[in-house]
Amino acid sequence: MVIFHVCNNYIASKVHSELILRFKIKKIKQAVYVPVREQKGNEGNEGNDNDLEVFFDYIIKPSIIKLFPLIKVMRVFSSIYFNYKDKIKKSDLLLAHTFWSDGIHCLIIKLIFKKKYIVCVRNTDLNVFMKYLLPYKFIFNMIAKNAQNIIFISKANYNQGIENYSYIKKNNSKIKIIPNGINDYWLENISIDRKYKNHNSKELNLIYAGRLDENKNLKNTYLACTEINKKNSYNLSWTIVGGNLSQLKSILDLDTLPSWIRYKPKTENLSVLRDLFYKSDLFIMPSYKETFGLVYVEAITQGCKCICSAGQGIAGFFDDYNLIQYCNPNDIYSIKNAIELAHHSEPRDLDTLPSYIRNNFSWDTIANKYLELF
Buried-exposed string 57-91: b where 16+ CB fall within 10 A, e elsewhere: eebbeeeeeeeebeebbeebbebbeeebeebbeeb
Asked if residue 111 lies in contact with residue 142, where contact means CB atoms within 8 angstroms, the answer is no
Alpha-carbon distance 240 to 284, whole Å? 10
For residue 343, which of 293, 284, 302 has the smallest C-alpha distance?
Answer: 284
Task: Label residue 174 exposed, middle or buried (CB < 10 Å: 0-12, 13-18, 19+).
Answer: middle
Return the amino acid letter for 371. L
Encode pLDDT of 324-333 as tens digits: 999 999 999 9
Least reliable range by pLDDT among 35-44, 111-120, 272-281? 35-44
Residue 168 DSSP label: H
Encode pLDDT of 84-118 as tens digits: 999 999 999 999 999 999 999 999 999 999 999 99
For residue 109, which of 93, 126, 121 has the smallest C-alpha distance?
Answer: 93
Instruction: Indicate the domain borders of the chain.
Output: 2-178, 185-353
For residue 285, which of 312, 322, 253, 260 has the smallest C-alpha distance?
Answer: 312
Average pLDDT over residues 335-355: 92
Helix (H, G, I), strand (E, B) or coil at 254: coil
pLDDT at position 253, please?
94
The two domains 2-178 and 185-353 share their CATH topology (first three levels equal): yes
Long-range contacts of 163-168 (CB under 8 A, 24+ apart): 164/126, 164/130, 165/126, 165/130, 165/140, 167/137, 167/140, 167/141, 168/121, 168/144
pLDDT bracket for residue 231 (50, 70, 90): confident
Give 267's Cβ-side CA count (13 Å radius).
Answer: 15
pLDDT at position 155, please?
92
Higher-pLDDT residue of 239 and 197 is 239
Q: How many residues does the chain have?
A: 374
Return the amino acid letter for 5. H
Asked if residue 63 lies in contact with residue 42, where contact means CB atoms within 8 angstroms, the answer is no
Alpha-carbon distance 325 to 319, whole Å? 9
- Angle, helices 69-90 vs 103-113, to 10°: value is 50
pLDDT at position 69, please?
78
Whether the predicted pLDDT of 209 surpasses 60: yes
Q: Phi, psi (5° rounding) for residue 46?
A: -80, -5
CATH of 2-178, one of 3.40.50.2000, 3.40.50.800, 3.10.20.30, 3.20.20.70: 3.40.50.2000
Average pLDDT over residues 74-89: 93
pLDDT at position 61, please?
67
pLDDT at position 62, please?
61
CATH number of 185-353: 3.40.50.2000
Least reliable range by pLDDT among 3-7, 125-129, 185-189, 345-349? 345-349
Encode pLDDT of 159-193 as tens digits: 999 999 999 999 999 999 999 999 999 999 999 88
Distance of CA 28 to the CA centre of its chain: 24
pLDDT at position 116, please?
97
Torsion of CA 352, 355, 322, 277, to 10 degrees: 120
Strand order in the sheet with 175-177: 52-58, 29-36, 2-6, 93-96, 117-121, 149-152, 175-177
Alpha-carbon distance 339 to 225, whole Å? 9
Alpha-carbon distance 181 to 370, whole Å? 12
The share of the chain scoring above pLDDT 70, in percent, equals 94
pLDDT at position 73, please?
87
User: CA 189 → CA 182, 274, 296, 350, distances in Å?
Assistant: 12, 9, 15, 15
Q: Three-class SS string for 308-367? A: EECCCCCCCCCHHHCCEEEECCCCHHHHHHHHHHHHHCCCCCHHHHHHHHHHHHEHHHHH
Alpha-carbon distance 36 to 338, whole Å? 40
pLDDT at position 45, please?
42
Asked if residue 176 lies in contact with residue 149, where contact means CB atoms within 8 angstroms, the answer is yes
User: CA 58 → CA 30, 62, 81, 104, 138, distances in Å?
Assistant: 20, 10, 15, 19, 29
Least reliable range by pLDDT among 32-46, 116-130, 159-173, 210-224? 32-46
pLDDT at position 93, please?
97
Mean per-residue pLDDT over the chain, rounded = 91
